[in-house]
Amino acid sequence: MTKKIFHFLNIIFVFLYVYPGSILGFLIYKDISKQPQITTDFIVSSNHVYAFLFLSLLGLISYINKYKIIIIYFLLTSVILELLHIFIPNRSFQFSDLFGNILGVLISIALLILFNFWRKK
């Protein structure tokens, strides 16, 4: 069941990421150019950290036996989706977003390692 949820959310995530404009901004602010902000950004984009952290955790839990493949998938996806913003109208490539994507993946990996370490004790 978690695999189905993961695949469904992954499709929605990719669609929201490559859509030219902000669907969430339109739904919340009635403005496609405005992006909702969960928390203020620091060095990296916090929205991107949260999104990739959530999706990566769900993917790692769903595919715990294939964790190497899913880690490579998320690292490549985090880079490729951000690079696509160079070509998508009304979107822009930003290093803070890219590093937020990667940080979200790395935090999810660290959390899973800590959980497995704690569980084995």
Q: What is the CA radius of gyration of the chain?
A: 15
Closest-CA residue to 93 (of 75, 74, 102, 80): 80
- Residue 37 — left, alpha, or beta (φ > 0 → left; ψ -120 to 50 → alpha)? beta
Q: Classify residue 100 by burial, with Cβ atoms within 10 Å: 0-12, 13-18, 19+.
A: buried
> Does the pLDDT of residue 121 top 70, yes or no?
no
- Residue 21 — left, alpha, or beta (φ > 0 → left; ψ -120 to 50 → alpha)? left
> Does the pLDDT of residue 3 top 80, yes or no?
yes
Q: What is the mean pLDDT of the chain?
A: 89
For residue 67, the enclosing domain spans 2-120
Phi, psi of 99 (to 5 degrees): -70, -30
pLDDT in tens, 64-99: 889 889 999 999 999 999 999 999 988 889 999 999
Q: So what's the pLDDT on residue 57?
A: 95
Averaged over 33-44, what is the pLDDT? 76
Task: Give how many domains the chain has, as a whole number.
Answer: 1
CA-CA distance, 81 to 19, in Å (whole number)? 11
Q: So what's the pLDDT on residue 93?
A: 92
Q: So what's the pLDDT on residue 102?
A: 96
pTM over 0.75: yes
Question: Helices then strands (H, E): number in the chain?
Answer: 5, 0
Cα atoms in the Cβ-side hemisphere of radius 13 Å centred on 65: 1
